[in-house]
Amino acid sequence: MRLTKMVLNRLNDIIIPALFRADGLGFDSRSHRALWAIGDDFKTWATVRSHPEFDGSLIYRTATVELSADGSELTRLEFDHGLKQTGEGFLGKLYAAYQKLQSMKGNTFVPAWELRAVFCFDQRCQLSVFDRLFDRDSGGGDAFKLHLEIQRQKPQHESPVRAGNRNIGAVRVVKR
């Protein structure tokens, strides 16, 4: 047990910082974990796992963070794609993401969690923003109609896409 802890400490103190420095990042793994937690807690970035164009997790920023010239103070924190901004023209943006996913998949109905991943990555919004707007607009609108299939299976690591207290498995977006 002591040997394992010693190896992990050396890895964290020597190897990981050397890897970060090679990429121009001057901090250790503990700092990296702290920054990761801060980004997660304050929603300055998001992760999607089911984006069809990428293998594994895809991490992207959801906020603009600016520091003072000396880096000691936060001068600006702006969420560029919150509920209000993303909600304006949501169905049109959803249709664009649907078309993109449909061209990759070739199916009329696309998996709801993949649609959410494509939408959120393209719009740089949190998954929770998509979830609230999708639930709000799942009935469609004047220009678009949504056809929803109930969820049968989904990847284990994905949270469900919900609309009207139902888990949605597949979506079709039609322009009226």
Whether pLDDT at 102 is above 80: yes
Tens of pLDDT, residue by residue over 14-26, are 676 777 677 776 6
- Give the separation between CA 30 and CA 16, rounded to whole angstroms: 10
Domain spans in the chain, listed from the N-terminal domain onward: 1-41, 83-175
pLDDT grade for 144, boundaries at 50, 70 and 90: very high
Q: Indicate the SS3 state at residue 112.
A: helix
Check: CB of residue 121 under 8 Å from CB of residue 60: yes
User: Which range, 42-46, 78-82, 108-112, has the best average confidence (pLDDT)?
Assistant: 108-112
